[in-house]
Amino acid sequence: MPGESILIVEDERIVARDIEKRLKKLGYRVSASVASGEEALLQVAITLPDLILMDIQLKGTLDGIQTAEQIYASQGIPVVFLTAYADEDTLQRAKVTEPFGYIVKPFDERDLHAAVEVALRRRIAEAAIRVALEKEQELSELKSRFWSMVIHEFRNPLTCILSTAQLLELDDPRLTEERRHEYLSMIQNSVRVMNELMNDTLSIARAESSEMAFNPQPLDVEDFCYRLVEEMRFSVGSSRSIQLKVKGCSQTISLDQKLLWHILVNLLSNAIKYSPEDSTVTLEVICTEGTAIFKVKDAGIGIPPVDQERLFQPFHRATNVGKLPGTGLGLTLVKKCVDLHGGDIIVDSRVNAGTTFTVSLYALCAISPGRYS
């Protein structure tokens, strides 16, 4: 792989110059050429080469095998040994350093080129495997923490249901009818929280397992948003007003309807939940060629700056939500749906001054006369 940096560690000056000349002819960069293990350790710290060609027999207190062992342990830089000694004892000593190859002197240019290419490609392959294993381990740890948090979050409403049901079961004559209704309401709220938590958890699990795939279809965005807002208005009643503004959506746009539903329902539900009564929540939709922009605005409690960086993490809730119910999974699901769509989401919020979420989804437009009017 021409262009890679190679350090030569060879105590025979003529041999070292010959190797350097051949490497440069093949298109490689020679970071340095040194004659001892001590010099090699110094050059490695300075230049961090991609590969080291190391003679086993070196001047100084360190031979090539000892030098390679230190370099591989501290830097992980691969070494190809140069040796005129291919005896069994030397090879056994060299194995400890996990070399990437051997070149037996005398060698020709083809042998040198083959050994260097194999070592460099192996280095890249092993680096890719390490990254993949690290990501897999990180993902496994994240999943473990996620499910631990899910179990923890289920315990709270379950505990509330159990303790409240036990109080009702006692049938204490001192328990007023009003108090009984309060206990029943607590049970109902806990069940709703568990149901919401279960639905959000299943949706996130589907997204993680690729069951929730990106499946774009031509969509009349204005009609879709109109119907969704009507459903939301019906569910919240007259306590909140939802305003819909649509601009430039006279064509159908290729979007995933299910993902868009999750995005908008969660954002609108949050906007309604964290806004004062009799306030207005606005869904603004702007369609341009290849892009659909959805802005959900509220005049609610806002999100503190300290919480905004962690907003899309599972179970994270803003520090100012108080006793307002929620699972802390809604925005996690929103982010996953936006990511599956290849889109972007931006939040602009100030405490006690409201929040605006802006979602940009990129798609292809197609002319369609079937617009809702």
Please name the amino acid found at residue 297: K
DSSP secondary structure letter of residue 362: E
The superfamily (CATH) of domain 217-366 is Histidine kinase-like ATPase, C-terminal domain (3.30.565.10)
CA–CA dist 322, 254 (Å, integer): 40
307/182 Cα distance (integer angstroms)? 33
Q: Which residues of 105-137 are buried (b: 16+ CB within 10 A; e: fewer)?
A: eeeeeeebbebbbebbeebeeeeeeeeeeeeee
> Which segment of 11-20, 184-193, 196-205, 245-254 scores lowest on mean pLDDT?
196-205
pLDDT band at 182 (very low <50, low <70, confident <90, very high): confident
Are 219 and 294 in contact, with CB atoms under 8 Å apart? no
For residue 204, the model assigns a pLDDT of: 67
pLDDT at 366 over 60: no
Picking from 197, 196, 187, the residue whose alpha carbon sits closest to that of residue 158 is 187
Each residue of 290-344: pLDDT tens digit? 789 999 999 888 888 888 888 887 766 777 676 666 666 778 889 988 988 889 9
The predicted model gives 227-236 an average pLDDT of 83
Residue by residue, DSSP assigns 12-73 as -HHHHHHHHHHHHHTT-EEEEEESBHHHHHHHHHHH--SEEEEESS-BSS--HHHHHHHHHH
| 283 has a pLDDT exceeding 80 | yes
Of 74-88, 202-216, 217-231, 240-254, minimum mean pLDDT range: 202-216
8-state DSSP, 148: H
Distance in angstroms (rounded) separating the CA atoms of residues 341 and 4: 38
Candidates 336, 349, 194, 321; CA nearest to 263 is 336
Which pTM value belongs to this model?
0.50
H/E segment holding residue 231: helix 221-236
Token pair belonging to 234 = 């019906």
CATH fold of 143-208, please? Answer: Helix Hairpins (1.10.287)
pLDDT at 7: 92
Instruction: Kindly state the average pLDDT of the residues 88-102.
Output: 75
Q: Where are the domains of the chain?
A: 5-107, 143-208, 217-366
**Fold identical between 143-208 and 217-366?**
no
Average pLDDT, rounded, for the chain: 81
pLDDT of residue 282: 94
Helices (H), 53-176: 64-74, 88-95, 109-170
> Residue by residue, what is the 3-state secondary structure of 256-316?
CHHHHHHHHHHHHHHHHHCCCCCCEEEEEEEEECCEEEEEEEECCCCCCHHHHCCCCCCCC
CATH architecture of 5-107: 3-Layer(aba) Sandwich (3.40)
Scan for tokens 């007259």, then name that residue.
Answer: 238
